[in-house]
Amino acid sequence: MIDDVIRTRRTHKSFGVEPVQRDALRELFELARWAPNHHRTFPWRFRVLGPESFERIKEAAGPSEAPKLERAPTLVLATAALSGDLISDEEDVCATACAIYAVLLGAHERGLAAYWRTPRVVRTRAGREALGVPDGERVLGLIHLGPARSSPPAPERPSVETYLSYLP
Ligand SMILES: Cc1cc2nc3c(=O)[nH]c(=O)nc-3n(C[C@H](O)[C@H](O)[C@H](O)COP(=O)(O)O)c2cc1C
What's residue 94's pLDDT?
98
In DSSP terms, which residues pair with 44 in a beta bridge?
80
Q: Which residue, judged by its Cα, is nearest atom 27 of ligand 1?
A: 10
Domain membership of residue 158 (yes or no) is no
Per-residue pLDDT, 53: 98
- What's the half-sphere exposure (Cβ side, CA atoms, 13 Å) at 40? 2
Contacts of 43 (CB under 8 A, 6+ apart): 37, 80, 81, 82, 92, 93, 95, 96
pLDDT recorded at residue 103: 98
117 lines ligand 1 (CB under 6 A): yes
∠ CA 83-84-86, rounded to 5°: 115
Residue 82, domain CATH: 3.40.109.10
pLDDT value at position 102?
Answer: 98
In this prediction, residue 7 carries a pLDDT of: 97
Question: Is the Cβ atom of 116 under 6 angstroms away from ligand 1?
Answer: yes
Tell me whether residue 133 is in a domain. Answer: yes
Please check whether residue 165 lies inside any domain of the structure.
no
Domains of the chain: total:
1
Residue 163 lies in a domain: no
72-112 pLDDT, tens digit per residue, is 999 999 999 999 999 999 999 999 999 999 999 999 999 99
Domain contains 157: no
pLDDT of residue 96: 99
| Residue closest by Cα to atom 25 of ligand 1 | 11
The list of the chain residues with pLDDT below 70 reads: none
Residue 83's domain spans which residues? 14-147
Residue 160, pLDDT score: 98
